[in-house]
Structure 1
């Protein structure tokens, strides 16, 4: 049987090295499986939050579109141009890390501010549309952040799962096989040594 270097480590020192390597591999597999569970749990939370934010986003967007149509019908496209503030909204994303995976954790939203010199929406429908669109964009930002977090966590979970599979299916069985072979060789060597000693003792007795 071949080890990483092509030959099985011989003797008691080789057996000790294999036992240590096997213990390290088993401990590593356990830690990786714990990491995998944590990643999958956080991914599920992020997926659920993304679905909820996505539903809110679609609902708010439909409401905003409805109000926009009403507002344009009442005041025309010129009224729509007057209703848009010059200021821009701001979205800030707070980041977190889980088991070395950096991902979006929260979104803070700052509404655009209309200056006192700017005209307000010329009719109630456009005012409602503005409020609904702001809510829709806020929900869209939250949806995007949760979706990105879920995707990043899922990618790391896949990598961790592959590492666990490599340890459990390949590396650990190979170490166990090599250790069993070394222990068998040591047992046979010790048996042969005992036979030689008994033979030598019987000859010297005669």
Structure 2
């Protein structure tokens, strides 16, 4: 790693000292941010897992009712085209330490039109309601997964930046400052020796 280029003498030492102070303060701030992000990420991962489990459970329930309905009325019971429009999803955004991510989601699944064709049997009606719940659960799972992904990505970026500061940049500044201090001490020692020689020469 190349040496830092700094002005000679005390001006260079002052610049290095300021840079080192800024780097240490930045590392402290990044460390605080990382702790907050880790806590948030752990929480979001748990929420993501729970939302995914709910989605899978709702899908399993819906498929169970669908199979029962088809056993009762046959596959022809699904030939009637749906009369209801598609579900609508609205994502409500929030932020964690500057990271924008889904905070909640609203999913509206339209009910069966009153004048539409009725379900062939009660099981298919239950399947229809169960699939509506599965759609809502899927939207919540997608939002939770995206939130965990976004905060996780920022957590990894912050960890890399903190590691670079602590393992590379701060040690470089400390080494450069130590070299400048040694050079200044050597220069002061040599100057003191020259003054002493000059003083002894004048007495002679």
Question: Could you say which residue in structure 2 is the equivalent of 1:165?
Answer: 163
Q: Is the 8 A contact 1:82 1:120 kept in 2?
A: no
SS of 1:105 mapped into structure 2 = strand
SS of 2:67 mapped into structure 1 = helix
Q: Is the 8 A contact 1:71 1:80 kept in 2?
A: no
Q: Is the 8 A contact 1:70 1:125 kept in 2?
A: yes
Question: Could you say which residue in structure 2 is the equivalent of 1:183?
Answer: 181
CA distance in structure 2 between the partners assigned to 1:59 and 1:70 by the alignment = 17
Decide which of 61, 69, 72 is 2:70's aligned counterpart: 72
RMSD (Å) for aligned C-alpha atoms: 1.8
SS of 1:121 mapped into structure 2 = coil
Q: 1:48 to 1:57 in 2, by over 3 A?
A: same
> How far has the Cα of 1:43 moved from its partner?
1.2
Q: Is the 8 A contact 2:24 2:170 kept in 1?
A: yes
CA distance in structure 2 between the partners assigned to 1:186 and 1:94 by the alignment = 59
Decide which of 144, 147, 162 is 2:145's aligned counterpart: 147
Question: Could you say which residue in structure 2 is the equivalent of 1:13?
Answer: 11
- How big is each residue's C-alpha offset from its partner over 1:39-94, in whole Å with a ceiling of 9 and x where there is no partner? 22111111101111111111111111111111122223343344844221111111
Question: Could you say which residue in structure 2 is the equivalent of 1:90?
Answer: 88
Task: Normalising by structure 2, report the TM-score.
Answer: 0.92
CA distance in structure 2 between the partners assigned to 1:133 and 1:14 by the alignment = 70
Task: Normalising by structure 1, report the TM-score.
Answer: 0.91
> How far has the Cα of 1:157 moved from its partner?
1.4
Question: Could you say which residue in structure 2 is the equivalent of 1:4?
Answer: 4
Q: How does 1:87-166 map to 2 (within 5 A)?
A: 87-166=85-164
Structure 2: 5+ residue runs without aligned partners? Answer: none
Size of the aligned set, in residue pairs, is 204
Q: Is the 8 A contact 2:41 2:152 kept in 1?
A: yes
Q: Is the 8 A contact 2:4 2:172 kept in 1?
A: no
- How big is each residue's C-alpha offset from its partner over 1:135-182, in whole Å with a ceiling of 9 and x where there is no partner? 111111111111111111111211111111111111111110000000
Structure 1: 5+ residue runs without aligned partners? Answer: none
Report which stretch shifted further, 65-74 or 81-90.
Answer: 81-90
Q: Is the 8 A contact 1:95 1:106 kept in 2?
A: yes
